[in-house]
Amino acid sequence: MLSLVGCGGLGLLPHDVHLTSAQNFQTYDQVTVAYTDIVPGQTRMSDLPKLGFDTVTTPNVEILSYLGVIERFMPRNSMTFDRLAAPVQACIEAQDRCSAFVFHPQHVESRRLGNFFLDLFGFERETYDTGWSAEIVLLMQDGHVAYKLMSGRPRIEDMHDTIQPLGPLQDIGNTAVQAASRFL
C-alpha cells in the first residue's frame, strides 16, 4: 500500500513558504487597497507606515537615490527624459531631494508533489508554487510621495518538474565533466 501511494499523500515531501512584508499584507487585494490610499502630492513619508509601507521595519525594502531613480525610469537610455511623467522629471531634477522606495510584498508557498522515493533519490522533483507577489515603487520628493507605481502577479500558479534520468548519478556526471574541462 505504501509503495502505491508513493508517500506523497503522507506529507513527507518538503514544503516551503516565502513571505515578505507578510506582517502588513495577507492578500494581494490588501496591497492594492493600501496602494490606492497613497495620494501623490499629499501622502507624507510619515503616513506610509500607517498604510503598511514602513521603510524601517519592512524587510527587503530598496532605497534608491536620485541616480537609482534615473536607472530605474531610464534604463540604458531606452527612454528620453522628456518622455517621463512630469513628477518623475521634477524629482530627478531635484537631485538630493529625490529618492524612491521599492517594496516587494509577497506570499508564495512551494509544495513538493509526486512520488516520495523518486524525489528522495533525485530522479524526479515536482514543485507547485502558489500565492501572489507585488512591487510598489514610491518616488519621494521633499518628504512627500511624488509618484507611485505598482506591478505584480495577483495569482501565482507555477509548476516545476525536474527529471534526472540518472538520479543521484546525474550530478556526479556533471561534476566529472566540469573537473575534466579544467584540465583540458
Give the list of residues 6+ apart from residue 70 with CB closer than 8 angstroms, or none.
92
Residues in the chain: 184
pTM of the model as a whole = 0.75
Give the list of residues 6+ apart from residue 76 with CB closer than 8 angstroms, or none.
none
pLDDT of 6 > 50? The answer is: no
Which H or E run includes 6? none
The residue behind cell 506582517 is 23
Instruction: Give the mean model confidence (pLDDT) for residues 140-169.
Output: 89
Q: Which residues pair with 138 in a beta bridge?
A: 101, 148
Condensed to tens digits (0 to 9), the pLDDT of residues 95-119 reads: 999 999 999 999 999 888 877 877 7
Q: 123: pLDDT confidence band, cut at 50, 70 and 90?
A: confident
Alpha helices in 74-133 (DSSP H): 86-94, 116-120
